[in-house]
Amino acid sequence: MSAPDDDRRGAELVSALGAVRARIADSCAAVGRDAQTVTLVAVTKTYPASDVATLARLGVTDIGESKDQEARTKVKELRRLDLRWHLVGRVQTNKARGVVSYAHAVHSVDRPKLARALAEAAAAAERVEPLDVFVQVSLDGDPERGGAGIDAVDALAETIAARPQLRLCGVMAIPPLGSDPDVEFARLAEVSQRLRANHPQATRISAGMSDDLEAAIKNGSTHVRVGSALLGRRGPIFS
């Protein structure tokens, strides 16, 4: 980008970030929550590292990516910045070694095999801090969209909790297509409550994106994963 383009893009991000932060604040106020209890994860998949750097200058340091290869490229380019990297897309077990080298959190752990692979990779890398993980919950049981079935959440959580290399944070979900987000996030809140009965530390809920963050916050979300409302809709930079 030329300097004028850089300035224009910076202004776009400032405006969009202000709007997203206002939505979060208003949503929290509506249900008597402190906006500081909600972490904004900026999902920058397909967008350049320059956008991440701009967001970091604006105080957004929790960055979400969907693909390991794209994430590692940006992590390397932005290694001098103090960022927390969240992997929010589906993870193949053969990517575990790479993921544990940079990720602070994985939001999409949906099967014991993946949990074990991440734990073993973290142990092999002698990682100091445990990897934060969320159990991805399938609210509709569609295996194509990822997530553990509601009946499988407890067993998966036990697998995670048994591994010292992993820190069980809570649950994550994406509402089924065409569903009422308020209804689905209320169901996720029930799953979270049940999980906390056996794992009191698993208090976090990763739920809500650009179109439905209000419903997610209403139902207790602690991490909203926002992409298009923050970065806009345009052609991909990464394929």
3-state secondary structure the chain: CCHHHHHHHHHHHHHHHHHHHHHHHHHHHHCCCCHHHCEEEEECCCCCHHHHHHHHHCCCCEEEECCHHHHHHHHHHCCCCCCEEEECCCCCHHHHHHHHCCCCEEEEECCHHHHHHHHHHHHHCCCCCCEEEEEEEECCCCHHHCCEEHHHHHHHHHHHHCCCCEEEEEEECCCCCCCCHHHHHHHHHHHHHHHHHHCCCCCEEECCCCCCHHHHHHCCCCEEEECHHHHCCCCCCCC
User: How many domains does the chain divide into?
Assistant: 1
**pLDDT (mean) for 84-102:** 96
User: Does any domain span residue 224?
Assistant: yes
**pLDDT (mean) for 160-174:** 98
pLDDT single digits (tens) 112-128: 999 999 999 999 999 99
Q: What is the pLDDT of residue 239?
A: 43
**pLDDT (mean) for 163-188:** 97
Name, of 140-154, 178-192, 223-237, the range with top average pLDDT.
178-192
Q: What is the CATH number for 139?
A: 3.20.20.10
User: Does any domain span residue 111?
Assistant: yes
User: Does any domain span residue 237?
Assistant: no
Q: In percent, how much of the chain has pLDDT > 70?
A: 96
Q: What is the pLDDT of residue 235?
A: 55
User: Does any domain span residue 15?
Assistant: yes
Q: What is the pLDDT of residue 5?
A: 77
Instruction: Among 10-14, 38-42, 144-148, name the one with the lowest average pLDDT.
Output: 144-148
Q: What is the pLDDT of residue 141?
A: 80
Which residue's entry shows tokens 């394929």?
Answer: 239
User: Does any domain span residue 238?
Assistant: no
Structural domain for 174, as ranges = 3-230
Q: What is the pLDDT of residue 2?
A: 55
User: Does any domain span residue 235?
Assistant: no
Q: What is the pLDDT of residue 233?
A: 77
User: Does any domain span residue 162?
Assistant: yes
Mean pLDDT of the chain: 95
Task: Count Cβ atoms below 10 Å from residue 10 Cβ, excluding itself.
Answer: 15
Asked if residue 226 has pLDDT above 50, the reply is yes
User: Does any domain span residue 222?
Assistant: yes
**pLDDT (mean) for 192-210:** 98
